[in-house]
């Protein structure tokens, strides 16, 4: 299929395609990080993850409106404020949900699945009642749109770079939080042995609450970032949920590195397949490969060894 193109064109396309894969990779990591924390560290299946993302998106939408109306001069920078707000709003709701619901359901992971599914239905209808059934358009500052032309054919989307930088930032933030901070040590202690962690004076309830809150907060940031590339409507969150879970499970539930590795594998295979096949078939084949590997290696790519 390539004979009609020159070498230069092919190199460009290869580059662009690699870049497309990287964007998809960043998107998947961003989606999955929050879930990886919640699912991996707490064993809670949060089916409302997508709705938390959309909450972040709606927060961004509202912030953009406020800035447009009251602070038009600062509009260029509103997105950062919006992301911070998205984090806070989702964090707060996450803490509330953990306090009111999740903490009663520990050790019953399948039940958290059903309860959070119920939560997701309620949130969807809430968005529909508050914001209307139609999708909302989030206006972005001019500098975030468009692309940066490196050569004649290679054009790098600015929002793609933005998502990549953001992912890098959040991922390293999570890394430091989990592996370099006292809090992270506590979380890991609770994951590995809850009674012992409690015995040495860690407030396990509080750790859980903030873990869940932070997971949701990261979902909020992801949602906020996705207003650049996707739609914001009451049911948009459901578009993400299967992919997100697969990334986390494929990576090995308790390993953050695994999540990143699996996001990389899935994104690269999907974007390569998409280039050679039709979109639908690419998706089916990617999912089949993931499911196939999971059947052979149920613990995922990277499994954390703990006594079960």
Contact predicate 103/209, CB 8 Å: yes
Dihedral angle computed from the Cα positions of residues 178, 179, 180 and 184, in that order, rounded to the nearest 10 degrees: 40
Q: How far is the CB of 191 from another protein (least distance, A)?
A: 10
Interface with another protein, residue 236, by CB under 8 A:
yes
Tokens of 66: 């406020």
Interface with another protein, residue 37, by CB under 8 A:
no
Q: How far is the CB of 307 from another protein (least distance, A)?
A: 5
Q: Which residues contact 14 (CB under 8 A, 6 or more apart)?
A: none
Residues numbered 51 to 90 that lie near another protein (CB under 8 A) are: none
Q: What angle do CA 20, 23, 28 make, to 5 degrees?
A: 125
Q: How many residues bind another protein (CB under 8 A)?
A: 101
Residue among 11, 76, 109, 179 that touches another protein (CB under 8 A): 109
Helix (DSSP H) and strand (DSSP E) numbers for the chain: 12, 2
**Per-residue x/- track, 239-258, another protein (CB under 8 A):** xxxx--xx--x---x-----
Q: Pick the closer one to another protein by CB: 171 or 249.
A: 249
Q: Pick the closer one to another protein by CB: 9 or 180.
A: 9
Residues numbered 110 to 169 that lie near another protein (CB under 8 A) are: 110-115, 117-126, 128-129, 132-140, 145-147, 149, 153, 155, 157-160
Q: How far is the CB of 12 from another protein (least distance, A)?
A: 8
Q: Pick the closer one to another protein by CB: 59 or 236.
A: 236
- The CA distance from 47 to 242, in Å, is 9
DSSP E strands, 74-220: 147-149, 155-157
Closest CA to 224 of 306, 161, 286, 163: 163
Residues numbered 160 to 199 that lie near another protein (CB under 8 A) are: 160, 192-196
- The CA distance from 43 to 191, in Å, is 9
Q: Pick the closer one to another protein by CB: 160 or 213.
A: 160
Q: How far is the CB of 234 from another protein (least distance, A)?
A: 7
Residues numbered 259 to 278 that lie near another protein (CB under 8 A) are: 270-271, 274-275, 278
Q: Pick the closer one to another protein by CB: 139 or 177.
A: 139
- The CA distance from 63 to 116, in Å, is 27
Q: How far is the CB of 291 from another protein (least distance, A)?
A: 5
**Per-residue x/- track, 213-232, another protein (CB under 8 A):** ---------------xxxxx
Cα 269–chain centre separation? 19
Q: How far is the CB of 133 from another protein (least distance, A)?
A: 4
Q: What is the chain's percent helix, strand, coil content, to nearest 5?
A: 75, 5, 20
């Amino acid at each position: 299929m390539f004979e009609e193109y020159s070498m230069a064109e092919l190199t460009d396309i290869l580059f662009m395609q690699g870049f497309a894969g990287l964007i998809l990779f960043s998107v998947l990591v961003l989606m999955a990080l929050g879930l990886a924390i919640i699912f991996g560290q707490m064993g809670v299946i949060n089916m409302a993850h997508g709705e938390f993302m959309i909450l972040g998106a709606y927060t961004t939408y509202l912030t953009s409106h406020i800035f447009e109306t009251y602070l038009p001069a600062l509009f260029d920078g509103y997105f950062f404020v919006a992301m911070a707000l998205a984090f806070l709003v989702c964090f707060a709701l996450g803490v509330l949900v953990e306090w009111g619901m999740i903490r009663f359901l520990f050790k019953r992971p399948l039940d958290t699945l059903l309860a959070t599914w119920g939560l997701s239905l309620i949130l969807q209808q809430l968005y529909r009642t508050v914001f209307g059934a139609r999708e909302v358009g989030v206006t972005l500052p001019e500098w975030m749109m468009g692309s940066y032309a490196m050569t004649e054919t290679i054009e790098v989307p600015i929002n793609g770079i933005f998502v990549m930088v953001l992912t890098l930032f959040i991922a390293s933030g999570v890394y430091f939080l989990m592996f370099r901070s006292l809090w992270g040590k506590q979380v890991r202690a609770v994951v590995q042995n809850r009674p012992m962690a409690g015995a040495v004076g860690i407030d396990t309830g509080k750790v859980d609450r903030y873990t869940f809150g932070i997971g949701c907060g990261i979902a909020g940031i992801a949602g906020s970032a996705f207003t650049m590339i996707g739609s914001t409507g009451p049911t948009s969150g459901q578009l993400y949920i299967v992919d997100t879970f697969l990334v986390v499970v494929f990576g090995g539930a308790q390993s953050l590195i695994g999540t990143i590795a699996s996001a990389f594998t899935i994104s690269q295979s999907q974007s390569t397949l998409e280039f050679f096949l039709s979109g639908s078939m690419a998706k089916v084949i990617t999912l089949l490969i993931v499911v196939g590997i999971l059947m052979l290696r149920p613990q995922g790519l990277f499994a954390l060894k703990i006594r079960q």
